[in-house]
């Protein structure tokens, strides 16, 4: 399993970013999103997409994100522009994720040093500053080697039928 921990959330400013971290995690093959209580309001939008377009995907709220990090049993990846290049460490991460659930931490603003210290890999998607959403997307795509793009969805109400032009959405029986 892959669990994404969204660390930090500035009310007002980060609303769409946090929602998009969740939607990107879901679309690109993660199993669960851990959100801090301050971001609880984002849950509904993400759950609503899962209800309509399928899962499985869970959103969990936690009062103690650092507590979750400290007690995590499997490997931990922290996405940060200061980390080791994804292309250098992805094989190692893939191998360890085969054995145990992987926690992927993404920040909003400054991330406490403890996270750098506890992570098994501090991983950069380039060493340029950009976005947690973009970093998460590229990381998951490397982790799953593109296979997440062909993933099946369960309990969907709606399914998009790809078209060259226009939009087609079908109800799933």
Would you give the binding string for ligand SAM spanning residues 125-164, x where CB under 6 A is met? xx-xxxxx--x-----------------------------
Contact status, residue 51 vs residue 25, Cβ threshold 8 Å: no
Shorter beta-carbon distance to ligand SAM: residue 35 or 111: 111
Helices and strands (H, E) in the chain, number of each type: 6, 8
Residue list 39-98, contact with ligand SAM (CB under 6 A): 79-81
- Which range binds ligand SAM by CB under 6 A, 32-40, 88-96, 123-131, 160-168? 123-131
Unique residue bearing structure tokens 């593109």: 146
State how far the Cα of 87 lies from the Cα of 89, in Å rounded to an integer: 6
Tell me if 118 sits within 8 A of 65, measured CB to CB.
Answer: no
151: closest CA among 52, 31, 22? 31
Residue nearest to ligand SAM (CB): 107
Of the candidate residues 23, 35, 106, 119, the single one contacting ligand SAM (CB under 6 A): 106
Residue with tokens 């969740």: 22
Q: Which residues bind ligand SAM (CB under 6 A)?
A: 79-81, 106-111, 124-126, 128-132, 135
């Amino acid at each position: 399993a892959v669990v994404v921990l969204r660390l930090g959330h500035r009310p007002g400013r980060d609303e769409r970013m946090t929602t998009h971290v969740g939607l990107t995690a879901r679309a690109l093959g993660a199993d669960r999103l851990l959100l801090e209580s301050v971001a609880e309001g984002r849950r509904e939008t993400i759950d609503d997409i899962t209800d309509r377009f399928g899962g499985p995907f869970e959103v969990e709220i936690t009062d103690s994100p650092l507590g979750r990090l400290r007690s995590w049993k499997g490997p931990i990846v922290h996405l940060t522009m200061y980390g080791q290049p994804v292309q250098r460490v992805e094989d190692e991460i893939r191998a360890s994720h085969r054995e145990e659930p992987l926690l992927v931490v993404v920040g909003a603003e400054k991330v406490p040093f403890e996270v750098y210290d506890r992570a098994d890999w501090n991983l950069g998607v380039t060493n340029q500053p950009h976005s947690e959403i973009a970093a998460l997307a590229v990381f998951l795509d490397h982790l799953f080697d593109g296979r997440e793009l062909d993933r099946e969805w369960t309990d969907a109400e709606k399914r998009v039928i790809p078209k060259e032009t226009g939009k087609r959405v079908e109800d799933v029986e």
